[in-house]
């Protein structure tokens, strides 16, 4: 019952947040210098031409009026038409969303696998010299941002030892039988593992670049928590029962240390999604982030608004998921 109430409360606050985001974005992109009309007209266009186009796109009205018109349309599910491609914003954005979701989730999986493994290893080897090595690796992971990891990976796996694809989402010559935009997911469902391999080969480097900073955060935080937990009374009691150090870490300490880490992973995952904007650009990965940069460069106002709203929905959804997982995993909250 409490879980249901939590979800309802969060949905309500989400709606308010989204409205705020919409207002801010709408105003900001209209106040900053540069406008879409200038991008569309050839050099030497007259003021009359500019005014005519402005009126055509409704840009001659006040910002408040523009917002009311746009918001009214949004309530009917119409996010407007992209100025550059002249296609509906909603379908453009929803077309790209799966690519970014697949990339982000893949990055999250990689980050969790690397982070948790290093944390367990570091706890097991605490006091040894190898622990210092893991701390150094964490430090490097934390201090290098995702796009620099991207450049380093391109150099390493694209140039020096070219084993992975450095550009795009899938090899262009392949014929794709997919009906959805969730290529990776669908390739597995259709048992087309040749396509899965090609997709993974493209996805690996951007996902790893996004994952490494998060992996370092997970590793550092989880290790710190594990090192405290393995000295608690119940861990000592487990040792007197005859359990090995590894077993104590895995079955006594880990279940108690994973919860505080989870909250942080949720917050950090939203940063990771934000990171897709530059990293997708770097790898020419056809996702939402790449499209966002194009939209900003072209001053495609309706498209920018659509993308930002979608990112905002994504962020609040991730936070809600984390809160719910926390409630389900924590026995004290579950029985409350």
- Interface residues with another protein (CB under 8 A) are 127, 232-234, 236-244, 247, 251-252, 255-256, 331-332, 335
> Which tokens in the block code for residue 94?
């929803």
- The nearer residue to another protein, 173 or 335, going by C-beta atoms, is 335
- Cα torsion at 292, 294, 299, 300 (round to 10°)? -70
81 phi, psi to nearest 5 deg: -115, 135
Task: Name residue, tokens 């003021």.
Answer: 47
Is 222 exposed, middle or buried (CB count within 10 Å of its CB: 0-12, 13-18, 19+)? buried
Smallest distance, another protein to C-beta of residue 245, A: 9
- The nearer residue to another protein, 179 or 231, going by C-beta atoms, is 231
- The closest alpha carbon to 285, from 211, 188, 200, belongs to 200
- The nearer residue to another protein, 245 or 294, going by C-beta atoms, is 245
Smallest distance, another protein to C-beta of residue 232, A: 6
88 phi, psi to nearest 5 deg: -60, 135
Smallest distance, another protein to C-beta of residue 130, A: 16
Smallest distance, another protein to C-beta of residue 10, A: 25
Smallest distance, another protein to C-beta of residue 120, A: 17
Written as one string, the DSSP assignment of 270-289 is HHHHHHHHHHHHHTT--SHH
- The nearer residue to another protein, 190 or 334, going by C-beta atoms, is 334
* Phi-psi sector, 16: left (phi>0), alpha (psi -120 to 50), beta: alpha
- The nearer residue to another protein, 61 or 239, going by C-beta atoms, is 239
């Amino acid at each position: 019952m409490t879980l249901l109430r939590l979800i309802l409360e969060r949905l309500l606050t989400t709606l308010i947040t989204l409205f705020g985001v919409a207002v801010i974005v709408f105003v900001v992109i209209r106040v900053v210098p540069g406008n879409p009309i200038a991008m569309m007209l050839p050099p030497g266009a007259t003021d009359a031409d500019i005014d005519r186009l402005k009126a055509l796109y409704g840009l001659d009205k006040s910002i408040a009026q523009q917002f009311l018109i746009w918001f009214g349309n949004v309530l009917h599910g119409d996010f407007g038409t992209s100025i550059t491609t002249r296609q509906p914003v909603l379908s453009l954005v929803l077309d790209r969303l799966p690519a970014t979701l697949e990339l982000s989730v893949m990055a999250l999986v990689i980050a969790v696998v690397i982070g948790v493994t290093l944390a367990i290893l570091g706890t097991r080897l605490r006091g040894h010299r190898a622990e210092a090595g893991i701390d150094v690796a964490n430090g490097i992971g934390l201090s290098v941002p995702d796009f620099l990891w991207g450049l380093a990976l391109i150099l390493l796996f694209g140039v020096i030892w070219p084993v992975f694809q450095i550009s795009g989402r899938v090899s262009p010559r392949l014929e794709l039988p997919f009906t959805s935009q969730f290529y990776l997911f669908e390739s597995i469902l259709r048992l087309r593992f040749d396509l899965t391999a090609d997709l993974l080969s493209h996805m690996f480097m951007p996902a790893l670049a996004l994952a490494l900073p998060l992996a370092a955060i997970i590793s550092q935080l989880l290790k710190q928590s594990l090192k405290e937990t393995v000295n608690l009374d119940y861990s000592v009691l487990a040792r007197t029962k005859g359990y090995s150090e590894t077993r104590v870490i895995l079955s006594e300490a880990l279940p108690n240390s994973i919860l505080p880490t989870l909250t942080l992973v949720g917050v950090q995952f939203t940063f990771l999604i934000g990171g897709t904007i530059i990293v997708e650009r770097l790898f020419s990965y056809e996702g939402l982030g790449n499209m966002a940069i194009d939209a900003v460069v072209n001053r495609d106002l309706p498209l920018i608004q659509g993308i930002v709203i979608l990112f905002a929905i994504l962020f609040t959804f991730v936070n809600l998921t984390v809160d719910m997982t926390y409630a389900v995993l924590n026995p004290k909250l579950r029985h409350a």
